[in-house]
C-alpha cells in the first residue's frame, strides 16, 4: 500500500465516501484515451429484459449504446429463466375482458405489497402493461401463446391473481422473449456488445471532486475477463440493469450472474436503496435429494402450475392442500404467505422438503403448457402427470432496490436503474407474481425516453480518469476468495432466511463485518478478478439486507421476525431506506 492509504481499520470504519475518494487517488490517473477504453453516449450494464429494452429504444432514436454483460448475452440472465410470463389486464377492442379490470389488478398488487407500494406507480404500471408492453414485445417478434378459445392470447393464472392474466410462451416465456430481443440487439448497428465484462464501480463527479453535493454519473469501470484488464468507460449516462441478488444466498432460482452487482455499485456510489429486507422466496423449486451440490441453481416449477390447479402437500400421499390451513386461497396464495407456511410446517414436522401435486391439472395440459417443467421432472425420475413432485422454496427476487423516480432516473444525473435492481414503488413488501417482467420493459422504455429528453446528442462525454491498478498484485491463491463466498452465502441462508430474529441478525452482521473488512483489504492489495468482484458485491448486498432487516422490527410479507411477529402499521408502514453511509432510516411510502 502507498503512503496515502490509511490504516485498514479506518478504511472499514469510515464512511464509504471517504473510501471512494481514496480509491480514486490510489487507482486512477489521468491520461489520453487508450485503445481498450470506451467513449460512448449510453453504457448499459446488464443484458436482461430491462437492459435490452433500453438499448433498443436508445439505439432506435439514433444514440450510441455500449452494452456490457457479465456472461454471454444470448444465454445468461435471470430474464432467460423467467418461466411463468408477464401479468397484464387483457384488453379486447380497448376494454378489459369480462371479469377483469385495471382496478382489480391494482387491488391485488397492493394487497401483495402490504401497504408499501406506491399506489400511483401501481396504477400507472397496470394501465400500461397492456397494450404498451405486450404489444411492444409482440412487435419485437415475441409470439405469446394463442388462445384456443375466443381471445387472441392464452392466459395463465398465478399466486395472488384472481383472474387469468399471465401472457406466456408455454413455461419458457423468458427464453422466447430474450431470444427475440437479443437477436435485435445483436443486429443493431448502433449497439456494441461487450460480453464477459463485470462492472466495478460508477465514476461520479462527487467522487472525483471529493464533494458531497448533487452528483452526476460520468462513466463506469468494467473488468474485461478475457483480457484480464479494467476498461474505463466514459459516457453521458449509465443504465444499471444487472438484475437480482439470488447468489447472496445458497439456494436460489437465479442465474449465476445474479450477484447483486447493481445494488452494490449504486450503494458504493452513495445512492439510497429501499426495502432491501424484502427478499422474496419462490415456493416451488424441484428438490433433488440425490445431489450433494448445495450451491446449484434450483429448477423453478412455475407458479402457473398452482394457478392451473396444482396443490401443495406435506406428505406424498396426502390428499389435502395444506395451505388451506393458512389462507382461504390455499396453494394459490401469494409467495410470502406460502413460503412462510412451508417454513413453519417443515420445522414442525422435521421435513426436508414438501410436495407439489400437479395431477389434477390433467396430463394433456401439463404436456402442452408446462413442457419444460414436465421434461425436467421426467429426467429426474418424476412423472408429474401421475405423481407429486418433491419441492422446496428458494430465494427468487429482490423486492427492494435502488430508489428511482417515475422514469428509472436516480438522484444522480446520468444514472438510471432498471428492472430488479430498482425500487420503483410497484412492488411493496412482496411482488405479485409476473409483475416484474412488464416492469422491466416499461421502465426500460421510460428511462430511454427520459434520457432522450434530457441529454442532447453529443459526440464526446466528459473526460474521466483512467483506471490504474497501481501496485496491486495478481491474486494467486483463490482459496480465501472461495471461503468468503461460502461464508457470506451460508451466513445469509442460516441467519437471514425466511424466519429472522434479532439474535440471528446480529450474528449475521458480526460475521459480515469481518468478512467485508477482509474483502476490502483484499481489494487494495490484489488485482481484481471476476470472482473477487462478485464476492465483494454479495458481501455488500448481504450487509444491506441484514441492516434493513434489523431496523424493521415487525413482520410484513417477505420479512418475518419471530421476535416481532405482528404487522406494525403505526411505526413501520414506511420504506426502509439505507444510504451510502450504511445508516438505515424510514421514509413515507
Instruction: Name the site residues for ligand SIN (rule: CB under 6 A).
Output: 83-84, 302-304, 397, 433-434, 436
Q: Which is nearer to ligand SIN, 114 or 168 (CB)?
A: 168
Instruction: Output 69 or 86, the one with its CB closest to ligand SIN.
Output: 86
Task: Return d(Cα 152, Cα 169) in angstroms, integer.
Answer: 13
- Helices assigned H by DSSP within 496-559: 502-525, 530-551
Specify the DSSP element, H or E, that contains 51: helix 49-60
Closer residue to ligand SIN, CB minimum distance, 333 or 434? 434
Provide CB contacts within 8 A for 198, sequence distance 6+.
70, 222, 223, 225, 261, 530, 533, 534
Options 157, 335, 340, 489, the catalytic residue: 335
DSSP 8-state symbol, 286: E
Q: Which is nearer to ligand SIN, 434 or 555 (CB)?
A: 434
Q: At what angle do helices 119-128 and 102-113 cross, to 10 degrees?
A: 140
Closer to ligand SIN by CB, 45 or 391: give it.
391
For residues 374 and 384, the answer to whether their CB atoms sit within 8 Å is yes
And the C-alpha cell for 532?
Answer: 473477487
Q: Is 328 exposed, middle or buried (0-12, 13-18, 19+ CB in 10 A)?
A: exposed
Residue 334 Cβ, how far from ligand SIN at the closest point, in Å? 11
The residue of the chain with the least Cβ separation from ligand SIN equals 84
Strands in 65-149 per DSSP E: 65-68, 86-87, 91-92, 95-96
Q: Which residues contact 493 (CB under 8 A, 6 or more apart)?
A: 249, 250, 251
**Least distance in Å: CB of 498 to ligand SIN?**
17
The distance of closest approach from Cβ of residue 172 to ligand SIN in the complex, given in angstroms and rounded to an integer, is: 10
Dihedral angle sign, alpha carbons of residues 449, 451, 452, 453: positive
Is the Cβ of residue 419 or residue 580 nearer to ligand SIN in the bound state? 419
**Contact residues for 103 (Cβ-Cβ < 8 A; gap 6+):** none
Burial of 352 (0-12, 13-18, 19+ CB in 10 A): exposed
CB of 397 to ligand SIN, least distance (A): 6
Q: Between 356 and 544, whose beta carbon lies closer to ligand SIN?
A: 356
Shortest separation between residue 57's beta carbon and ligand SIN, angstroms: 23
Residue 426 cell numbers, joined = 410497484
**Minimum CB separation from ligand SIN for residue 270, in Å?**
30
Question: DSSP labels for 140-152?
Answer: TT--PPBPSSSSS
DSSP codes of every residue in 167-183: E-STT-HHHHHHHHHHH
DSSP 461: P
Q: Does 587 participate in catalysis according to the annotation? A: no
Cα torsion 498, 499, 502, 508: sign? negative
Output the smallest distance, CB 25 to ligand SIN, in A: 43
Q: How many CB atoms lie within 10 A of CB 221?
A: 24
Measured from the CB atom, is 38 or 177 closer to ligand SIN? 177
In whole angstroms, the minimum distance from the beta carbon of 85 to ligand SIN comes to: 7
Residues forming the active site: 335
Amino acid at each position: 500500500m502507498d503512503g496515502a492509504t490509511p490504516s485498514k481499520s479506518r478504511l472499514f470504519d469510515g464512511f464509504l465516501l471517504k473510501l471512494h475518494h481514496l480509491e480514486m487517488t490510489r487507482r486512477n490517473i489521468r491520461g489520453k484515451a487508450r485503445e481498450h477504453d470506451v467513449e460512448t453516449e449510453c453504457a448499459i450494464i446488464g443484458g436482461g429484459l430491462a437492459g435490452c429494452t433500453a438499448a433498443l429504444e436508445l439505439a432506435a432514436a439514433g444514440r450510441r449504446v455500449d452494452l456490457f454483460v457479465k456472461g454471454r448475452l444470448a444465454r445468461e440472465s435471470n430474464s432467460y429463466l423467467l418461466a411463468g410470463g408477464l401479468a397484464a389486464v387483457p384488453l379486447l377492442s380497448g376494454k378489459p375482458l369480462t371479469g377483469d379490470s385495471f382496478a382489480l389488478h391494482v387491488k391485488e398488487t397492493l394487497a401483495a405489497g402490504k401497504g408499501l407500494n406506491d399506489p400511483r406507480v401501481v396504477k400507472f404500471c397496470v394501465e400500461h402493461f397492456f397494450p404498451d408492453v405486450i404489444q411492444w414485445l409482440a412487435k419485437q417478434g415475441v409470439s405469446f401463446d394463442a388462445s384456443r378459445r375466443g381471445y387472441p392470447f392464452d392466459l395463465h393464472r398465478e399466486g395472488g391473481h384472481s383472474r387469468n392474466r399471465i401472457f406466456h410462451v408455454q413455461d419458457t416465456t423468458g427464453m422466447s422473449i430474450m431470444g427475440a430481443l437479443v437477436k435485435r440487439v445483436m443486429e443493431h448497428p448502433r449497439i456494441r456488445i461487450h460480453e464477459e465484462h463485470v462492472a466495478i464501480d460508477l465514476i461520479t463527479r462527487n467522487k472525483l471532486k471529493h464533494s458531497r453535493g448533487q452528483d452526476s454519473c460520468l462513466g463506469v469501470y468494467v473488468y474485461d475477463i478475457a483480457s484480464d484488464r479494467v476498461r474505463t468507460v466514459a459516457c453521458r449516462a449509465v443504465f444499471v440493469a444487472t438484475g437480482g441478488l439470488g447468489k447472496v444466498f445458497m439456494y436460489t432460482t437465479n442465474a449465476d450472474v445474479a450477484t447483486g452487482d447493481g445494488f452494490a455499485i449504486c450503494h458504493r456510489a452513495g445512492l439510497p436503496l429501499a426495502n432491501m429486507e424484502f427478499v422474496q422466496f419462490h415456493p416451488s423449486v424441484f428438490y433433488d435429494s440425490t445431489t450433494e451440490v448445495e450451491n446449484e441453481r434450483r429448477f423453478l416449477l412455475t407458479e402457473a402450475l398452482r394457478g392451473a390447479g396444482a396443490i401443495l402437500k406435506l406428505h406424498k400421499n396426502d390428499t389435502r392442500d395444506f395451505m388451506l390451513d393458512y389462507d382461504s386461497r390455499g396453494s394459490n396464495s401469494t409467495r410470502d404467505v406460502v413460503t412462510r407456511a412451508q417454513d413453519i410446517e417443515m420445522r414442525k414436522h422435521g421435513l426436508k422438503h414438501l410436495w407439489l401435486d400437479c395431477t389434477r391439472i390433467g396430463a394433456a395440459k401439463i404436456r402442452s403448457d408446462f413442457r419444460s417443467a414436465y421434461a425436467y421432472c421426467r429426467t429426474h425420475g418424476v412423472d408429474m402427470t401421475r405423481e407429486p413432485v418433491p419441492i422446496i422454496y428458494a430465494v427468487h427476487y429482490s423486492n427492494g432496490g435502488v430508489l428511482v423516480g417515475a422514469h428509472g432516473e436516480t438522484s444522480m444525473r446520468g444514472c438510471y436503474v432498471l428492472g430488479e435492481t430498482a425500487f420503483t414503488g410497484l412492488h411493496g413488501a412482496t411482488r405479485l407474481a409476473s409483475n416484474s417482467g412488464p416492469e422491466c420493459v416499461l421502465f426500460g422504455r421510460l428511462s430511454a425516453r427520459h434520457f432522450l429528453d434530457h441529454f442532447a446528442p453529443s459526440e464526446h462525454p466528459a473526460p474521466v480518469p483512467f483506471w490504474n491498478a497501481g501496485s496491486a498484485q495478481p491474486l494467486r491463491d483463490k482459496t480465501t476468495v472461495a471461503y468468503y463466498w461460502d461464508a457470506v452465502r451460508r451466513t445469509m441462508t442460516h441467519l437471514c432466511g425466511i424466519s429472522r430474529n434479532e439474535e440471528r441478525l446480529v450474528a449475521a452482521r458480526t460475521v459480515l463485518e469481518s468478512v467485508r473488512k477482509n474483502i476490502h483489504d483484499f481489494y487494495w492489495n490484489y488485482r481484481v478478478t471476476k470472482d473477487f468482484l462478485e464476492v465483494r458485491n454479495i458481501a455488500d448486498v448481504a450487509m444491506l439486507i441484514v441492516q434493513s432487516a434489523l431496523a424493521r422490527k415487525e413482520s410484513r410479507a417477505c420479512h418475518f421476525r419471530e421476535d416481532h411477529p405482528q404487522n406494525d402499521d403505526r411505526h413501520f408502514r414506511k420504506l426502509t431506506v439505507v444510504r451510502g453511509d450504511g445508516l438505515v432510516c424510514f421514509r413515507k411510502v
